[in-house]
Amino acid sequence: MEKEENQNITDKNHQEQGKETTKPEENLDNQIEQDTDQEIKEEAKEITPEEKIAELKDRVTRTFAEMENQRRRFEKEKEEAFEYGGYSFAREALNLIDNLERSKQVLETDEKLKGTEALTKSLQHLDIIKKDSISIFEKNNIKPIESLNKKLDPNFHQAMMEIEDDTKEPGTIIQEIQKGFTIKDRLLRPSLVGVAKKTQKKAAKTEETTENSETK
């Protein structure tokens, strides 16, 4: 009796082991079937020769467009490098103009030289050098900014002070402290200027008149 029971238990164990050993094989078969189905679907979705040609044409068109854009960027960068390559040098060269102006101011304020022929000749000589320098600058597209009697333009002028002057509209440039310059369409340096403003007494009177008219 015991032998029969032991035999039954052994048979059951073998059956269970057999089931367990067949599971990986079944999984493998299922995976193969799924892969096969996927390959069949992909083959079914394979594009036609016409679609391939259209895709290649699109890629070629995009490639040529990108090449053209790169060529244009290169040409622009090359042109700007040529036009503005002397930008730093030009800024340094402006010191020459500044030094000429300072020298002229020193000579003009020297009491010992006032009214002398030496002063007149020196000033004439400095003016000639300045004009020649500006002429050379202009040939290289470096031009002075017009400032005096112009309205203050923040793009080209930098206001350093306000000067009371009732003969000019407020904000009008009436003094040029340092001349500004442009190179092509770029600002090389702004003009340092003084602008007109109303006198304090007149400004106060204007405000009082405005207040009285409002109360009426």
Instruction: Flag whether pLDDT at 21 surpasses 50.
Output: no
Instruction: Flag whether pLDDT at 60 surpasses 80.
Output: no
Average pLDDT over all residues of the chain: 75
Instruction: Flag whether pLDDT at 48 surpasses 90.
Output: no
pLDDT (average), residues 32-36: 59
The pLDDT assigned to 20 comes to: 47
The pLDDT assigned to 39 comes to: 58
Poorest-confidence range of 70-79, 109-118, 131-140, 184-193? 70-79
CA 185, CA 142: separation in Å to the nearest integer? Answer: 10
The pLDDT assigned to 78 comes to: 58
Q: Which amino acid is at 37?
A: D
Residue pair 151/172 in contact (Cβ under 8 Å)? The answer is yes
End-to-end CA distance of the chain: 130
151-177 pLDDT, tens digit each: 999 999 999 999 999 899 999 999 999
pLDDT (average), residues 4-31: 51
Which residues face 193 on adjacent strands? 159, 176
Poorest-confidence range of 25-34, 109-118, 155-164? 25-34
Instruction: Flag whether pLDDT at 103 surpasses 70.
Output: yes
Predicted confidence band of residue 215 (pLDDT cuts 50, 70, 90)? low
Residue pair 168/196 in contact (Cβ under 8 Å)? The answer is yes
Number of CB atoms found within 10 A of residue 191's CB: 25
